[in-house]
Structure 1
Amino acid sequence: MRGRETLALLFRSPTAIVAGAVLVALVVTAVLGDSLAPHDPTATDVSNRLQSPSTAHWFGTDELGRDVLSRVIEGAAVSLKVGAVAVGISLVAGVLIGLVAGYYGTWVDDVLMRLSDVLFAFPAMLMAIAVLAILGPGSTNAMIAIGIVYTPIFARITRASVLSVREEVYVRAARSAGAGDLRIVGRHVLPNVTAPIIVQTSISLAFAILSEAALSFVGLGTQPPDPSWGRMLSEGRGFIEQAWWMAVFPGLAIFVTVLAFNVLGDALRDVLDPRQRSAMAGTGVTP
């Protein structure tokens, strides 16, 4: 019932509906990329290089005659895959660290949080570049690097939520009834701290996609000939005056995707906040 109420409140927000529709379209595009792409995204045709947008090539062609639209479509799959796997890594690792630190406290909390603080002290991109300098460039290593970078964020959010839940009456009652720590955490603690984690997941997906684009832009992410929005931006930078479409269309893809995830994250934050939720459910005001 709570899930249905959340969806009903989300559907009251026009911005959330638009953002959700954009993301659904993006996922469909990523899954059906090979079928939707009008041309082979890696096929070169130097005789058609730097062609402006036309009916034959809606987004034009690049310096090697490759169809930009096809590369943007294929790049969607790369961006979503890297973003989803990276956030999945940080989500699992961060939530586990936060649960253990918040539930047990004492020296366990101190050790885990100080380790998280060490990672959190470095700028995200510098940390990702440092990890890739050790592991080497490539999309797989980019997933690992981005996952490591965002793990402390999930750990902090989970820990803060667990600290406010672990002394609740229902948790103490379960402990008094002889329930083990694993059962208490799984049945009573984790379900009650999921709201901020869900919101952070949506926002982190936006920043993970942006981070992948930035890493590919500097040559550390997805490697040629595989298409990547960040790599396409880097390649189009040198032709911005004579072939603006090479940079504009992948840039727009990044902008729209990141904006959609952020808007959806803001809407989720509103509907999952207890006070906002009660006000919205009672008045019908959209977030």
Structure 2
Amino acid sequence: MSAAADAPARGRALTAEVPRWRVTLGLLARTPTAAAAALVLLTVVLVALFDDQLAPAGPNDVDVQARLQGPSAEHPFGTDDLGRDVLSRVLLGAQVSLRVGLVAVGISLVVGTLVGTLAGFYGRWVDSLLMRLMDVLFAFPALLLAIAVLAVLGPGATNAMIAIGITYTPVFARVSRAAVLGVREQVYVRASRSVGASDARLLLRHVLPNAAPPILVQTSVSLAFAVLAEAALSFAGLGIQPPAPSWGGMLASGRGFLEQAWWMAVFPGLAIFLLVLSFNLLGDGLRDVLDPQQRSAMEAGRRRIRSRGKAEAAADARGAA
């Protein structure tokens, strides 16, 4: 009798022990658009990791006799004005876009989160000084600021990463500051401070973990903008320099051949479209599953569906009996 009575308690204990990140991943996997976006992003990552094995030819293998050939079995995406295989260049360009996007967003994430966290946690003159500096950067349009930085540093992949990272630092600073302002006055933070917890412990154990959800969502969205920014800078000749393959550079070289060789610009454009759309859809899914109200509604919906299924199964069993 006692064992039967203890069974629900054990079930609740096991449910409570499920890590939060596993629940989040489960909810994200049950969101169709977010799951599809994650699958596309995983495919792009695999392509970037194994691009040399997947590419049918070298990115700069010139074959003048095969120039401007349309899509075919030999060249599924056709060839460009120098006879280079467009598919190979698109595949190898995925690594460039991901590397530039990840490094640039990594720079803005670390610097912006540090600035916003310090400003939101300490407030007063620290907040005023740091956020006024961020406002100066935020006052410039993102692409123009990146171009200005590259005008000083010079064109190139490394400088493009730095320029894009500087451009999106104010965004992370504002998001992290807003999140920290909402967390620092919570009861558990004030209780930890009252028992003598240091500022470093408060930030690392209580403030940053609970302020992380909006920062994660902003990271996914900023990756989409970073890919677009890299493509725009390469299109203008300030990002990845030829002959290295980049989607923006391929668009720039293909715009002069739209009438006679549409595939030179269409396939790199589709690659940019799919990658940016996937990052945005994944960001939307993360926003839904990390928002407490949305998360509660999704979990309640799952429980209703599960209980309805159990009720229908029980009804079928009674009917069969």
> Equivalent residue for 2:238?
220
Structure 2 unaligned blocks of 5 or more: 1-18, 306-321
Structure with bigger gyration radius: 2
> Equivalent residue for 1:200?
218
- Is residue 132 of structure 2 the alignment partner of residue 91 of structure 1? no
Please give the alpha-carbon distance, in whole angstroms, between the structure 1 residues aligned to 2:37 and 2:51.
20
- Is residue 185 of structure 2 the alignment partner of residue 167 of structure 1? yes
Question: Equivalent of 1:184, from 202, 213, 216?
Answer: 202
- C-alpha distance after superposition, 1:136-171 (max 9, x if no partner): 001110000000000000000000111111111111
Deviation at residue 91 of structure 1 after TM alignment:
0.2
> Equivalent residue for 1:275?
293
- C-alpha distance after superposition, 1:96-155 (max 9, x if no partner): 001100000000100100000010010000000000000000111000000000000000
Question: Equivalent of 1:237, from 255, 265, 271?
Answer: 255
Please give the alpha-carbon distance, in whole angstroms, between the structure 1 residues aligned to 2:31 and 2:114.
33
Deviation at residue 16 of structure 1 after TM alignment:
1.1
Deviation at residue 227 of structure 1 after TM alignment:
0.1
- Aligned pairs, how many? 286
What is the TM-score when the length of structure 1 is the normalising length?
A: 0.98
Please give the alpha-carbon distance, in whole angstroms, between the structure 2 residues aligned to 1:168 and 1:22.
39
Counterpart of 2:230 in structure 1: which amino acid?
E
**Structure 1 segments of 4+ aligned residues over 6 angstroms from their partners:** none
Deviation at residue 240 of structure 1 after TM alignment:
0.5
Please give the alpha-carbon distance, in whole angstroms, between the structure 2 residues aligned to 1:178 and 1:223.
54
Counterpart of 1:229 in structure 2: which amino acid?
W
Structure 1 unaligned blocks of 5 or more: none
Structure number with the bigger relative contact order (C-alpha 8 A, sep ≥ 6) is 1
Where in structure 2 are the equivalents of 1:1-287 lying within 5 Å? Answer: 1-284=19-302
Aligned-partner SS, 2:257 = coil
What is the TM-score when the length of structure 2 is the normalising length?
A: 0.88
Please give the alpha-carbon distance, in whole angstroms, between the structure 2 residues aligned to 1:226 and 1:79.
12
Counterpart of 1:244 in structure 2: which amino acid?
W
Please give the alpha-carbon distance, in whole angstroms, between the structure 2 residues aligned to 1:25 and 1:230.
20
Please give the alpha-carbon distance, in whole angstroms, between the structure 1 residues aligned to 2:74 and 2:181.
59
Counterpart of 1:15 in structure 2: which amino acid?
T
